[in-house]
């Protein structure tokens, strides 16, 4: 079986001390990375639930962990002006001593834009903004001065100092599966591509990404590929069946042997890193990550 890296995706709804405890546990128990989402409120009619902020949380985790890679999954591009985001990312990379993964996406959660007065625009305009933004951020990471004059962003003789610890800047991860635009942006600029989905989805979308890379003269193998899905690990058939029969189920549910088999299919689909959210773990996050480490990860690597 092809080996994969495994990372944890921590829900930002709990109080920060609980998130910090989980992050320290993940850091100490062999996981490859920790990811957090970039949202300001729940995606629901009642948007009042607690939501910790992504980048200040990443900065705190950078100072409180020592080994794991730390990433945004993913930063909504519309939420922050690109040079400001580049400055933030460089600082988190410095705090973490070179462990940041800068995840970017076009942004999709409409209620956040409406509540905070952020222009939502069209899908096409958000993707065009993302295309420009990645160019600006990469240039700021890599050059002493940046000039960029696009449709949406203008930057003139802009410095970025101090530079990130990672040479050339943190790994740029772009999330999404849109075949005509998003995967073209991935092929042009990204170090890593990320998407939700089944192994079959990953394999099909991966072939499209290969084509997009070839169109811009890039080796498809140079794009690191990560994926995630909700994972329900249980020896109780009733628990497994409940998970599988949930509306819109597109995750993984089963005993350890079945989860290992599913991970093998992701590896065969070309996935380099599988990210496991803790959204369905309840209060047992640390215990469940320990069980997954022992019963699944150790058998896949």
- Here the tokens at position 102 are 């800068």
Find the mean pLDDT for residues 82-98.
98
| Of 190, 185, 164, residue with least CA distance to 93 | 164
pLDDT value of residue 283: 87
The CA distances from residue 33 to 51, 130, 143, in Å, are 21, 24, 28
89 pLDDT above the threshold of 80? yes
Q: pLDDT tens digits, residue range 132-181?
A: 999 999 999 999 999 999 999 999 999 999 999 999 999 999 999 999 99
What is the value of pTM for the model shown?
0.96
Residue length, the chain?
A: 301
Q: Average pLDDT, stretch 62-84?
A: 98
Query: What are the extents of the domains in the chain?
Result: 5-223
What confidence tens digit (pLDDT) does each residue in 229-245 have?
999 999 999 999 999 99
133-169 in b/e form (b: 16+ CB < 10 A) is bbbbbbbbbeeeebebeeebeebeebebeebbbbeeb
Residue ranges of E strands in 188-295: 192-196, 224-228, 231-233, 252-254, 273-277
| Confidence check: pLDDT of 1 > 60 | no
pLDDT tens per residue, range 19-65:
999 999 999 999 999 999 999 999 999 999 999 999 999 999 999 99
% of the chain beyond a pLDDT of 70: 99
Instruction: Give me the pLDDT at residue 78, please.
Output: 98
Q: Which CATH number fits domain 5-223: 3.60.15.10, 3.40.640.10, 3.20.20.30, 3.50.50.60?
A: 3.20.20.30
Q: What is the mean pLDDT of residues 211-225?
A: 98
Rounded CA separation 139/191 (Å): 14
Q: Give pLDDT, residue 252.
A: 95
């Amino acid at each position: 079986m092809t080996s994969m890296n495994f990372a944890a995706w921590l829900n930002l709804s709990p109080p920060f001390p609980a998130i910090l405890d989980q992050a320290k546990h993940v850091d100490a128990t062999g996981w490859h990375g920790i990811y957090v989402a970039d949202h300001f409120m729940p995606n629901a009619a009642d948007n009042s639930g607690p939501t910790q902020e992504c980048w200040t949380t990443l900065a705190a985790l950078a100072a409180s962990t020592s080994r794991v890679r730390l990433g945004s999954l993913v930063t909504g591009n519309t939420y922050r002006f690109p040079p400001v985001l580049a400055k933030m990312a460089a600082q988190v990379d410095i705090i973490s001593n070179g462990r940041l993964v800068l995840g970017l996406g076009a942004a999709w959660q409409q209620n956040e834009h409406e509540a905070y007065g952020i222009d939502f625009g069209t899908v096409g305009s958000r993707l065009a903004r993302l295309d420009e933004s990645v160019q600006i951020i990469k240039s700021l990471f890599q050059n002493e001065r940046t000039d960029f004059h696009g449709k949406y962003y203008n930057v003139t003789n802009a410095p970025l100092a101090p530079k990130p610890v990672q040479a050339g800047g943190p790994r740029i991860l772009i999330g999404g599966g849109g075949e005509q635009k998003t995967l073209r942006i991935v092929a042009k600029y990204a170090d890593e591509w990320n998407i939700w989905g089944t192994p079959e989805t990953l394999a099909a979308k991966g072939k499209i990404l290969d084509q997009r890379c070839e169109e811009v003269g890039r080796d498809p193998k140079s794009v690191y590929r990560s994926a995630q899905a909700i994972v329900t690990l249980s020896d109780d058939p009733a628990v497994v069946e409940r998970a599988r029969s949930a509306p819109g189920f597109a995750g993984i549910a089963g005993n350890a042997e079945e989860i290992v088999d599913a991970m093998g299919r992701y590896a065969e689909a070309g996935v380099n890193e599988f990210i496991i959210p803790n959204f369905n773990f309840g209060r047992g996050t640390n215990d469940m990550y320990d069980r997954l480490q022992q019963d699944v990860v150790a058998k896949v690597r």
